[in-house]
Structure 1
Amino acid sequence: MTTIHELGAEQLRSRIAAELARARARTAGLTEAVDDADLLRQHSPIMSPLVWDLAHVGNQEELWLVRDVGGREPVRRDIDDLYDAFKQPRRDRPALPLLPPAEARAYLATVRDKVHDLLDRVPFTDRPLVADGFAFGMIVQHEQQHDETMLATHQLRVGPPALHAPDPPSPRVRVADEVLVPAGEFTMGTSTDPWALDNERPAHPVRLPAYVIDAAPVTNGRYREFIADGGYDDPRWWSEAGWAHRTGAGLTAPMHWRRDGDGWAYQRFGRWSPVRDDEPVVHVCWYEAQAYAAWAGKRLPTEAEWEKAARWDPATGRSRRYPWGDEEPTAEHANLGQRHLWPAPVGAYPAGASPLGVHQLIGDVWEWTSSPFRGHPGFAAFPYREYSEVFFGDDHRVLRGGSFGTDRAACRGTFRNWDYPIRRQIFSGFRCARDARPDESGR
């Protein structure tokens, strides 16, 4: 596929228009699947009502594209504070005078009409906000990120199933347990991807010792062994903070699991089905992932270890955009884009494996790493501090790789997500790593 850098101005306009339309179609599908009462309801205190997300994506599009890039008059300046995520905590949003669903949809349509008019005329100059259509790409990614957030809200809602999708593909290959990643330097981050966000920049060299990483995410079957061995009842495997959270929150299994006779069942968007052992475990918090890794005699990978396993090509020494190369994901590469509504079994995407044989690094489940969220060396906030910089520090842990709910526009080998270590309403899983032994690393 032609890269954004290689597109002429008219091709770039067409590409942007298509990406905007694709994001809006997903937003519509998620919000039209339920009635107005469901849109207005708060399904969890840590999530917004769906109608807030709906108008918020329009407000961000107005702020950045209509007003900033286009220099046009505001459409609805009076609602800016209502849809400011930093001014309005999620738990308080249901009490705000939010736009009703019909008015929110009309607002989005008005903003989008103005954006299409702008897109027909805007010159793609060297101004950083418009070079290669960056501001448009940022808005596409923002809407797709909220589409994943809305999908997580659907998973929390109570009521008849509202979303439907086909099953993921069946396994096609047998996947090894572990893969050795040789010692050496690789390039982490990017300085050239035109729609990469500020926390992915700049590219910089990182040297790592040899390590071993799981060839696939930890599966339900492996995780059930941890549960059966009393993993949730043994403080040896938990950090002090993790054990305090486990006991305080009463954690006994991944979120949305319940006992089903001698086994387990898992609720997926209003439907209960038996837990399938070969699927990656999902809806676990960082503390649970950390405890499992300790129980297994391993650890969580650092963010740099995850990215080297996902991007480094031993034949050329370069870092790819994705594990399989630089071309954009297709249905053969990864479980992305809400095409399916749960993780695919291990071995379902051999075309998406890295050169080292590490599978399903992109899509299926966000993967917890051991790393706190910080800027890369040389980080510069752009175009606003509130996207990344205000979250830097030890409070958040980095997740990588995207999930079945993530769109390809908001997922690549450098993309970084982050959340509190207690969060598990997100589509989060993990894989483990360990230091290489001398006999493995060749020392």
Structure 2
Amino acid sequence: MTLEQLRHSPEQLRTRIAEELDRARSRSARLTDIDREDLVRQHSPLMSPLVWDYAHIGNQEELWLVRDVGGREPVREDIDNLYDAFQHKRSDRPSLPLLGPDEAGAYVAEVRRKALEVLERTPLEGRRLTEAGFAFGMIVQHEQQHVETMLATHQLRVGAPILDAPPPPPTGPAADRTEVYVPGGMFLMGTDLEPWALDNERPAHAVGVDSFWIDTDPVTNAQYAAFIDAGGYDDERWWTPAGWAHKNTAGLTAPQFWHREDGVWWRTRFGHVEEVPPHEAVQHVCWFEADAYARWAGKRLPTEAEWEKAARYDPATGRSLRYPWGDEDPTPEHANLGGVYLQPAPVGAYPKGTSPLGVRGLIGDVWEWTSSDFTPYPGFAMFPYPEYSEVFFGPEYKVLRGGSWAADQSAVRATFRNWDYPIRRQIFSGFRCARDARDADV
């Protein structure tokens, strides 16, 4: 049952919330059940020590569920400043008097015990913060988002592998065509109905787009390698001025973690060195690289509205679906989510996740860069705190959509909006291309 259906059954909703909290904790606990030295070390100035992320997860849970929703006395009020993400830059966090691994583990366990007690006693209605368990869902999503952040930290870690996973499913049937036509017109973007949707996904509003073509699948490693081989990193024509300047300053020559030996592309993935799989969606590319590839291919990145219309619009009914495949919650047959394989699957591996228009792989595998800046929707209302979305609105950030293989289904919706600086590459980001069309092009 969906959350919207469960909101009318409080006990079933409590059970679902407890299960989601436990599922998130099992993932974060696994990523921190490692050598103490690896937990406290900063593996990159871009990332926090893993032990900071773990205690931060507990601190946010304490602030919102134990103190705010539950009205209980603080567990560790003295550490609030240490784990406030806005008080200390990531590069500075190793120098703080952080909780050690054992102390952090005991802290998050104590907070979780109290949070579950609050869950049992809190009416899941009558207050916006607790309606349909919103505050609990917000904390579930927060922890799952930090799981993805911790996976990015693990990817930056140097040393023998400590994470492993089975291989992803094989590629599915080839697509009938490499592009899908999306008719112009209005559609409903955003949501008013998802109980755990965050403020930047709201409100639902009608948006019009012109007709366009969008790639059936995300750009693959093989396609991106062709861009490199064609001299794409050496030709200023394909880059914006800012992108060209960043490419030169940062010395970009290929996706992060790639290297070439004897004409063969290899990558390092969680300590494993392996040949780059040609049919997987390319990942670890920044917005500037994605934009340059699109220009080289004679296309462009889709706007955020175009991406969402391709993902949600059902031409048979004219309505916007919850997910590309319909209104059903994600299952392992729909998308590559939850970090099961620790990598993208080959394109086409999830035919049941195809949208009504015929676009594949829109949820899972890689976050997809769009051309859009991160801005509020018309009628946006901040809730429950400005530091989630509001303080990030502006042209400094680009929107990513769809979720990666590392994202969890609780933190991925067809309306979910991610954002980051256009220079970011350590995230599990890829893209697909679009181009303008006329109705006569069908």
Asked whether the two chains share a fold, i.e. TM above 0.5, the reply is yes
Equivalence for 1:97? 97
Structure 1 distance, partners of 2:6, 2:69, is 22
Shift of 1:184: 1.0
Q: Is 1:315 aligned with 2:316? A: yes
Structure 2 distance, partners of 1:375, 1:10, is 35
Shift of 1:371: 0.2
Structure 2 contact 3–132 (Cα < 8 Å) conserved: no
Shift of 1:173: 1.2
Q: What letter corresponds to residue 167 of structure 2 in structure 1? A: D
Please give the per-residue CA displacement for 1:88-116, whole angstroms capped at 9, x wherever unaligned.
Answer: 10000000000000000000011011011
Q: Is 1:405 aligned with 2:406? A: yes
Structure 2 distance, partners of 1:388, 1:166, is 35
> Pairwise mapping of residues 335-414 of structure 1 onto structure 2 (< 5 A)?
335-414=336-415
Structure 1 contact 188–204 (Cα < 8 Å) conserved: yes
Q: Is 1:84 aligned with 2:84? A: yes
Equivalence for 1:209? 210
Please give the per-residue CA displacement for 1:288-325, whole angstroms capped at 9, x wherever unaligned.
Answer: 00000000000000000000000111111111111001
Structure 1 distance, partners of 2:264, 2:205, is 47
Shift of 1:5: 3.9
Structure 2 contact 41–94 (Cα < 8 Å) conserved: yes
Structure 1 contact 182–209 (Cα < 8 Å) conserved: yes
Structure 2 contact 211–439 (Cα < 8 Å) conserved: no
Q: Tell me the secondary structure at the aligned position of residue 372 of structure 1.
A: strand
Structure 1 contact 4–12 (Cα < 8 Å) conserved: no
Structure 1 distance, partners of 2:197, 2:440, is 39
Structure 2 distance, partners of 1:363, 1:271, is 22
Q: Is 1:140 aligned with 2:130? A: no
Shift of 1:171: 1.1
> Pairwise mapping of residues 17-28 of structure 1 onto structure 2 (< 5 A)?
17-28=18-29
Q: Tell me the secondary structure at the aligned position of residue 361 of structure 1.
A: coil
Shift of 1:124: 1.4
Unaligned runs of 5+ in 2: none
Structure 2 distance, partners of 1:128, 1:3, is 15
Q: Tell me the secondary structure at the aligned position of residue 108 of structure 1.
A: helix
Structure 1 distance, partners of 2:116, 2:172, is 43
Structure 2 contact 312–320 (Cα < 8 Å) conserved: yes
Q: Tell me the secondary structure at the aligned position of residue 53 of structure 2.
A: helix
> Pairwise mapping of residues 83-232 of structure 1 onto structure 2 (< 5 A)?
83-175=83-175, 176-232=177-233
Structure 1 contact 365–430 (Cα < 8 Å) conserved: yes
Structure 1 contact 178–212 (Cα < 8 Å) conserved: yes
Shift of 1:439: 3.0
Structure 2 distance, partners of 1:154, 1:4, is 35
Structure 2 distance, partners of 1:162, 1:311, is 38
Structure 1 distance, partners of 2:383, 2:147, is 23
Please give the per-residue CA displacement for 1:390-434, whole angstroms capped at 9, x wherever unaligned.
Answer: 000000000000000000000010000000000000000000000
> How well do the aligned residues superpose, as a CA RMSD in angstroms?
0.8
Structure 2 distance, partners of 1:220, 1:75, is 48
Structure 2 distance, partners of 1:359, 1:173, is 11
Please give the per-residue CA displacement for 1:65-87, whole angstroms capped at 9, x wherever unaligned.
Answer: 00000100000000000000000
Structure 2 distance, partners of 1:439, 1:257, is 41
Structure 1 contact 5–194 (Cα < 8 Å) conserved: no
Shift of 1:277: 1.1
Q: What letter corresponds to residue 154 of structure 1 in structure 2? A: H
Q: Tell me the secondary structure at the aligned position of residue 110 of structure 2.
A: helix
Equivalence for 1:331? 332
Q: Tell me the secondary structure at the aligned position of residue 396 of structure 2.
A: strand
Equivalence for 1:29? 30
Structure 2 contact 183–439 (Cα < 8 Å) conserved: no
Structure 2 contact 212–434 (Cα < 8 Å) conserved: yes
Q: Tell me the secondary structure at the aligned position of residue 206 of structure 2.
A: strand
Structure 2 distance, partners of 1:437, 1:326, is 30
Please give the per-residue CA displacement for 1:245-265, whole angstroms capped at 9, x wherever unaligned.
Answer: 000000000000000211100
Structure 2 contact 184–211 (Cα < 8 Å) conserved: yes
Shift of 1:326: 1.0
Structure 2 distance, partners of 1:187, 1:223, is 33
Equivalence for 2:433? 432
Structure 2 contact 6–12 (Cα < 8 Å) conserved: no
Structure 2 distance, partners of 1:5, 1:144, is 23
Shift of 1:328: 1.0
Q: What letter corresponds to residue 126 of structure 1 in structure 2? A: G
Please give the per-residue CA displacement for 1:220-272, whole angstroms capped at 9, x wherever unaligned.
Answer: 11101100000000000000000000000000000000002111001110001
Matched length: 440
Q: Tell me the secondary structure at the aligned position of residue 361 of structure 2.
A: coil
> Pairwise mapping of residues 225-304 of structure 1 onto structure 2 (< 5 A)?
225-304=226-305
Q: What letter corresponds to residue 257 of structure 1 in structure 2? A: W
Structure 2 distance, partners of 1:416, 1:5, is 23
> Pairwise mapping of residues 25-64 of structure 1 onto structure 2 (< 5 A)?
25-32=26-33, 34-64=34-64
Unaligned runs of 5+ in 1: none
Q: What letter corresponds to residue 172 of structure 1 in structure 2? A: G
Shift of 1:438: 5.3
Structure 2 distance, partners of 1:80, 1:162, is 31
Equivalence for 1:72? 72
Shift of 1:219: 0.4
Structure 2 distance, partners of 1:387, 1:5, is 27
Structure 1 distance, partners of 2:166, 2:87, is 39
Q: What letter corresponds to residue 153 of structure 1 in structure 2? A: T
Shift of 1:276: 1.3
> Pairwise mapping of residues 3-14 of structure 1 onto structure 2 (< 5 A)?
3-7=3-7, 8-14=9-15
Q: Tell me the secondary structure at the aligned position of residue 116 of structure 2.
A: helix
Structure 2 contact 6–13 (Cα < 8 Å) conserved: no
Structure 2 distance, partners of 1:308, 1:419, is 22
Structure 2 contact 288–422 (Cα < 8 Å) conserved: yes
The percentage of aligned residue pairs carrying the same residue is 68
Q: Structure 1 segments of 4 or more deviating over 6 A?
A: none
Q: Tell me the secondary structure at the aligned position of residue 148 of structure 2.
A: helix
Structure 2 contact 213–435 (Cα < 8 Å) conserved: yes
Q: What letter corresponds to residue 108 of structure 2 in structure 1? A: L
